[in-house]
C-alpha cells in the first residue's frame, strides 16, 4: 500500500463505456479509487451500493469516484447498469495499476482497498482491507476532517 503523502502513480484505464480515463485528467481534483475483486459479487455490490447511495455527499465535497477491477469494460457496464452506479468503473486488465499500488490480489483479482488522492496527485489516505458495508461512511467521515499535510 502507498502511504499518505506519496505521489499516486500515473494511470490510464478504460471505463465501462469504453472511454479512456487518466490521472492527467484528474490533475487539480480530489478523487477516490476503490479497487474491488469482481463485478456483481456480493461484497463488491454492497460496497458499490454504499458509495452510490452516498454519491451526492462525495459530489458536495468535490471528490470524483472511480471503481477499479480487472473486469473487462462490458462486465463493468453490466454492473453499472444493474446497480445504477452514477460513477465510472475502470478496467485494469492484468492488474497493472493495482500491482503498482498494492491492490493486486491472488489469481487475477484486485484486493478490496481504496485510495483517496488529493488535488496535488498525492495519496491523502489509503484504506486497506475495507469493510464493504461501511466503506462509504468511513471515507465520508475522513473527508469531513481537515486535511493534514503529510510530513
Active-site amino acid positions: 44
State the residue for C-alpha cell 481534483. 29
Return the SS3 of 148: coil
Distance between CA atoms of residues 49 and 132, nearest Å: 9
**Strand order, beta sheet including 30-35:** 20-22, 12-15, 89-91, 63-69, 30-35, 114-117, 123-127
Amino acid at each position: 500500500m502507498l502511504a499518505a503523502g506519496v505521489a499516486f502513480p500515473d494511470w490510464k484505464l478504460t471505463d465501462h463505456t469504453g472511454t479512456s480515463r487518466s490521472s492527467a485528467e484528474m490533475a487539480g481534483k480530489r478523487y477516490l479509487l476503490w479497487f474491488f475483486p469482481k463485478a456483481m459479487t456480493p461484497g463488491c455490490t454492497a460496497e458499490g451500493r454504499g458509495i452510490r447511495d452516498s454519491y451526492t455527499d462525495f459530489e458536495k465535497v468535490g471528490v470524483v469516484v472511480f471503481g477499479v477491477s480487472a473486469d473487462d469494460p462490458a462486465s463493468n457496464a453490466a454492473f453499472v447498469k444493474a446497480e445504477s452506479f452514477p460513477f465510472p468503473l475502470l478496467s485494469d486488465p492484468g492488474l497493472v495499476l493495482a500491482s503498482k499500488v498494492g491492490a493486486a490480489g491472488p489469481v487475477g483479482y484486485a484486493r478490496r482497498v481504496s485510495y483517496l488522492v488529493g488535488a496535488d496527485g498525492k495519496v491523502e489516505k489509503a484504506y486497506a482491507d475495507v469493510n464493504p458495508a461501511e466503506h462509504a461512511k468511513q471515507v465520508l467521515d475522513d473527508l469531513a476532517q481537515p486535511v493534514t499535510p503529510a510530513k
